[in-house]
Amino acid sequence: MSDYHPPIEDMQFLLHDVLGFQNDDLDRDTCEAILGEAAKLASEVLASLNSKGDEAGAKLEGGEVKTAPGFKEAYAQYREGGWNAVPFDEEFGGQGLPYALAFPIQEMWQGANMSFGLCPLLNQGAVEAISHHGSDEQKAYYLPNLIEGTWTGTMNLTEPGAGSDLGLIRSKAEADGDAYKISGQKIFITYGEHDMAENIIHLVLARLPDAPDDVKGISLFIVPKFLEDGSRNAVKCIGLEHKLGIHASPTCTMDFDSATGYLIGEAHQGLKYMFTMMNNARLSVGLQGVAIAERSYQHALAYANDRVQGKSFQTGERVAIAAHADVKRMLLTMKSQIEAGRALTYEAALALDNGDTAKVDILTPLVKSWCTDMACEVTSIGVQIHGGMGFIEETGAAQYMRDARILPIYEGTNGIQALDLVFRKTLRDGGKSVKEHIDAIRCDNFKKYFEALDMATGALLKAGGDKNLDLASAMAAPYLRGFALIAAGTLLQKSLVGLEGREDKFATEKRRTIEFFNTNILPLAKAHLDVAISGSGIITA
Amino acid sequence: MSDYHPPIEDMQFLLHDVLGFQNDDLDRDTCEAILGEAAKLASEVLASLNSKGDEAGAKLEGGEVKTAPGFKEAYAQYREGGWNAVPFDEEFGGQGLPYALAFPIQEMWQGANMSFGLCPLLNQGAVEAISHHGSDEQKAYYLPNLIEGTWTGTMNLTEPGAGSDLGLIRSKAEADGDAYKISGQKIFITYGEHDMAENIIHLVLARLPDAPDDVKGISLFIVPKFLEDGSRNAVKCIGLEHKLGIHASPTCTMDFDSATGYLIGEAHQGLKYMFTMMNNARLSVGLQGVAIAERSYQHALAYANDRVQGKSFQTGERVAIAAHADVKRMLLTMKSQIEAGRALTYEAALALDNGDTAKVDILTPLVKSWCTDMACEVTSIGVQIHGGMGFIEETGAAQYMRDARILPIYEGTNGIQALDLVFRKTLRDGGKSVKEHIDAIRCDNFKKYFEALDMATGALLKAGGDKNLDLASAMAAPYLRGFALIAAGTLLQKSLVGLEGREDKFATEKRRTIEFFNTNILPLAKAHLDVAISGSGIITA
């Protein structure tokens, strides 16, 4: 029996009634059928492995990583169902489905089992990097297997001395005929080694001889675990991290000892290519936040409906705790923010499909940062609703909180996201795209919030104009928080339009959730923006 | 080498220069000497056991609980140093130190090793219950050993079906001569069984035959592990919980099988007596929040000063991450809230010493709730500052976050605290004491915050007057949050007075921290109070 029920009704409502998803091959019923199939795999297979995977973890034995019991079989089922191919190019065996549909599907994998879902998430980055920047030969050789999922891909960026600051990367690449020899150590490599695929294709940032000693001197290489002739390449996993969460996802230390690698695209362009992998991965991480928050909510709601404790003020009878106003507040705080995050994330998926890069660029840091902070808050509330039981591992609520805690860290910390929003997305073009975006989502009901957002944007641009970049950095985090809340809030307002004429339970609950968001969550947006404007000076003083 | 440095300068400043601590036997130098001795034990012995205890945990073997390696010896050292006796009555061997000094001392145990610190924390509740409500014989027999720490005490309240709702307690007590036979099962009993003391004195809530079937029918019993004749009583630990944090603190399921117990005070008065234990314990839990947040801050600050990553905007040189504005924001968010929480908690300690029960009553839910939510936020930021390393257990940052997560749950969940503030402390006397408290702390600089607090208090009283208790409950959590922020903020303002004329590093840093609190943290108070006023109706609609 599963305890995860993918929120298909919500997903469909959002796509078709709010965001205006249009696709001749994918009408509402077809989407329903596809989502229904994915939901089966997610809830019947992956969800039940989630806590088992947490307990068993992945194990490193003699250089080989054994994933937790059941993971290998589940991955085979996932791959055979064609799910790995969902968003990819049909030319290489992909299903060519739009992100608008691929995101709800991916939400299910992440909600069911985030440790499992990380493998396809990273693979997706590798497919995108090779699709966009690889040679025709590289595409022809790697993509079909990576898309089918017979092989999986990884992103090898971080080194002990180079985290957020990739300019410090020291891994080396030396030419060796048409290929290169790659040497160095990479840490925090998700699914760097495992037993679910026939081959593992590492995308590795390294530095060519004589390369500039900074981010401009980094190149991107393909380093397969098994070479084309079947021989084992000189890359191996030499350690697994002992982590707070996502225990079933092997986080590997990878050693490259003159491993054979192949340059992707041009030399010294690695950072640019990396962002191809990274940007979509950032949206996917935001989606992980929505997904795990939803899972945590479902768990907490079931407990709150079941646990009888305390009395009703009206009847004096003992009631389930879900009937108490303070618990209702917690449940609504979870639900309303999950729905806000989902709207923001799916909106980004549609923008990806529509090639609206200006929108994607702005939404990416909002989605990554806000949805993952939200996931930490929501999963912690999920623990709280369980009372003492929430602190007991067997209950399961704590796992969501532990797992979610990685989300504000990886694929660019949330601090880095805020700097991305401020420097790359706002100051770089003098505020042009941000202002256009804000004008496009402006709505009359939120006048005071947009005034605060306009003022904060103005203050940011002034700091940029004054070359006071420390001040702009200091403003970044609360600016992002306020911006994201308002952006998500406008999408919920759009949802109200999608509900017009409906008086069923779904519509009634959603109206209530939106009203809660507007009156209990959104007011914090103004506080954050005021803080960005008036509270940042002291930081740099 | 220790990585925990008790913040003695801050503690002393708060006591002597801000809160106006006065005691003829305890001048500033004497306090410094006592705090210095405690700091040695905390940093040299207890702090280094913290991560080891987390890893090893406590073990149940054949009904006996073995604490983690080193704990038994550390406890002996703590006891022999006379530390357990600090705040207790000299008549029974206590040192009779005021809470104003006992709190900073206790902060050190909790900051050094919260799992260890829980044992004396619970013992303190037992001492207080027996001191206030026990017979002279009970006092003479139990107090000297409990105060010395040769014996430890526990609080046995929770049952599987009775958590926040103690009216559901089913444990039974039947008269047996002068004593009683106690039967039932209790869960979540901190240090219910362990190997650090010669005897364990359980304070147990149970129901006498024919007792009213509600909280009014609960009585409090003393149930020692070993009886006066040395025989083993029929109480045993039948299970240890597998928890998110505080692994070294054994959380026991206790089985009472016609165990011999002794009634404390009068029958059916157990709930009242329990609050004697509970109220001070609630303040201590708030103090745990301050303590573990401080520890997390010290850890994060050391990392931020050490980790070089990214460049300065001014010099273009690589710098330690502590120099980046966004990291500074995170560090100041930690530090300013820790100092606010410490001020609020020590203020409560002084009120305890002064017998100012009205103040203690109001501060208790604020301290317990706000300082523990703050601890969860701060320890999570501590993880974030470490980036990817924060997610790796060996780093240690994650343990503080895991340990801290119990704080908003135990000794009355933070939701229960908010209801306590609203129903017992505000509505019960028509707002009299709350209004008096607010008027006493009112300061001109925070006019808009006090206006919001007055309005929210008015709205609460109106809901109470309208008998709309659901609405009052719905308002409780954000009301408490806003109230606590303002109360803490006024104490920080008082600190500014204590700094007058000083231009040293301590004073400069503290002014900056307070300015940060005022401009970056306090603005949320108004948002919370506005939410309480305008956002609570939708919850009960």
From B140's Cα to the closest Cα of chain A, the distance in A is 35
- Partner residues linked to A199 by β-bridges: A151
Give the pLDDT confidence of A185-220 residue by residue, as tens digits: 999 999 999 999 999 999 999 999 999 988 999 999
| Cross-chain residue pair B413–A387, CB shorter than 8 Å | yes
**Distance of alpha carbon B243 from alpha carbon A394, whole angstroms:** 8
CB-based contact A415 B473, cutoff 8 Å: no
> Within an 8 Å CB–CB cutoff, is residue A243 touching chain B?
yes
So what's the pLDDT on residue A2?
A: 55
| pLDDT score at A150 | 98
For the domain made up of A152-269, the CATH class stated in words is: mainly beta
Q: What is the dihedral of CA B147, B150, B155, B159, to 10 degrees?
A: -170
Residue A62 and residue A441: Cα distance in Å, rounded?
55
Instruction: Residue A524: list chain B partners with CB under 8 A.
Output: 524, 527
Q: What is the pLDDT of residue B275?
A: 86
Q: Which CATH number is associated with domain A8-148?
A: 1.10.540.10
Q: Which residues of B touch A380 (CB under 8 A)?
A: 376, 405
Cα–Cα distance for residue pair B142/A59, rounded to 1 Å: 51
Name chain A contacts of B326, Cβ cutoff 8 Å.
415, 418-419, 473-474, 476-477
Output the pLDDT for position B277.
81
Torsion of CA A92, A96, A99, A102, to 10 degrees: -90
Percent of chain A with pLDDT over 70: 100
Q: Which of B244, B325, B393 sits opposite A398 (nearest CB)?
A: B244
Asked whether the beta carbons of B387 and A409 are under 8 A apart, the reply is yes
The stretches of A395-502 forming alpha helices (DSSP H) are 397-404, 414-419, 432-441, 447-465, 469-498
Q: Does residue B540 belong to the interface with chain A, where contact is any CB pair within 8 Å?
A: yes
Kindly tell me the sign of the dihedral angle through the C-alpha atoms of B359, B290, B536, B530. Answer: positive
Instruction: Inform me whether the C-beta atom of residue A319 falls under 8 Å from chain B C-beta atoms.
Output: no
Q: Which residues in chain B have their CB less than 8 angstroms from residue A249's CB?
A: none
Query: Residue A1's pLDDT is what?
Result: 38
Mutate to test the interface with A, among B54, B188, B242, B244 (most CBs of A within 10 A): B244
Rounded to an integer, what distance in angstroms lies between the CA atom of residue B16 and that of residue B23? 10
The pLDDT, as a whole number, for residue B1 is 38
The DSSP bridge partners found for residue B509 are none
Q: Which of the 8 DSSP states describes residue A191?
A: T
B30, containing H or E segment: helix B28-40
Task: Please tell me the predicted confidence (pLDDT) of residue A275.
Answer: 86
CB contact under 8 A, B523 and A527: yes
User: Using an 8 Å Cβ cutoff, are B222 and B264 in contact?
Assistant: yes
C-alpha R_g of chain A? 23
B chain contacts of residue A512, beta-carbon cutoff 8 Å: 538, 541
Residues A264-308 have pLDDT tens digits of: 999 999 999 988 888 889 999 999 999 999 999 999 999 999 999
Mean pLDDT by 10 residues, chain B (541 residues): 87 98 96 98 97 98 95 98 96 97 98 98 96 97 98 96 92 97 98 98 96 93 98 98 98 98 97 87 98 98 97 96 98 98 98 96 98 98 98 98 98 97 97 98 96 98 97 98 98 96 97 98 98 97 88
**Which of A414, A516, A541 lies nearest to residue B538, judging by beta carbons?**
A516
Residues B475/B422, Cβ–Cβ less than 8 Å: yes
- A387 inside 8 A of chain B by CB: yes
- A183 forms beta bridges with A172, A257
Q: Helix, strand, coil: what percent of chain B each, to 5?
A: 60, 15, 25
Name the residue of chain B whose CA is nearest to A511's CA. Answer: B538
Closest CA to A8 of A80, A85, A111, A118: A111
A314–B contact, CB cutoff 8 A: yes
**Residue B172: count of CB within 10 angstroms of its CB:** 17
Angle at B275 between CA B269 and CA B276, to 5 degrees: 95
- Cβ pairs bridging A and B (under 8 Å): 213
Q: Catalytic residue positions of A?
A: 411
Q: In degrees, to the nearest 5, what angle opens at C-alpha A474 toward C-alphas B451 and A414?
A: 100
User: Is B329 in contact with A418 (Cβ distance < 8 A)?
Assistant: no
Contacts A324 to B, Cβ<8 Å: 415, 473
Q: Which of B188, B393, B476 sits opposite A243 (nearest CB)?
A: B393
Q: Classify B237 as helix, strand or coil.
A: strand
Question: Which residues of chain B are within 8 Å of residue A165 when distances are taken between CB atoms?
Answer: 309-311, 318
Q: Is B371 helix (H, G, I), strand (E, B) or coil?
A: helix
Whole-Å CA distances, B365 to A166, A295, B81, B416: 47, 31, 32, 9
Touching check for B479 and chain A: CB below 8 Å? no
Res. A495 pLDDT band, cuts 50 70 90: very high
Q: Which residue of B has its CA nearest to A312?
A: B470
Helix (H) or strand (E) run with residue A113 in it: none
Residue B310 with chain A: CB contacts under 8 Å: 164-165
Q: What residue segments make up the domains of chain A, in order of their start?
A: 8-148, 152-269, 413-541
Q: Which residues in chain A are contacts of B162 at CB distance < 8 A?
A: 309
Decide if A516 touches B, using CB distance below 8 A.
Answer: yes
A174 inside 8 A of chain B by CB: no
Q: Using a CB–CB cutoff of 8 Å, tell me whether B382 touches chain A.
A: no
The fold adopted by the segment(s) B153-273 is Butyryl-CoA Dehydrogenase, subunit A; domain 2 (2.40.110)
Alpha-helical segments (H) within A87-211: 99-112, 114-133, 136-148
**Tens of pLDDT, residues A354-371:** 999 999 999 999 999 999
Q: Does A354 touch chain B (CB under 8 A)?
A: no
Residues 79-138 of B with CB under 8 A from A: none
What does DSSP say about strands B199-206 and B151-156: parallel, antiparallel, or unpaired? parallel
Q: Which of A254, A257, A258 is nearest to A201 (CA)?
A: A254
**What pLDDT is stored for residue B279 in this prediction?**
84
Smallest CA–CA distance, residue A350 to chain B, in Å, is 31
A185, containing H or E segment:
strand A179-190
Residue A151 and residue A23: Cα distance in Å, rounded? Answer: 30
Test A405 with B398 for CB contact under 8 angstroms: yes
Query: How close is the nearest chain B Cα to the Cα of A394, in Å?
Result: 7
User: Is B473 within 8 Å of A324 when comparing Cβ atoms?
Assistant: yes
pLDDT reported for residue B469: 97
Q: Which of B326, B527, B535 sits opposite A419 (nearest CB)?
A: B326
| Inter-chain CB proximity A163 and B469 less than 8 Å | no
The residue from B411, B436, B503, B509 that is catalytic is B411
pLDDT tens digits, B363-399: 999 999 999 999 999 999 999 999 999 999 999 999 9
Stretch A491-519: mean pLDDT, rounded? 97
Summary mean pLDDT of chain A = 97
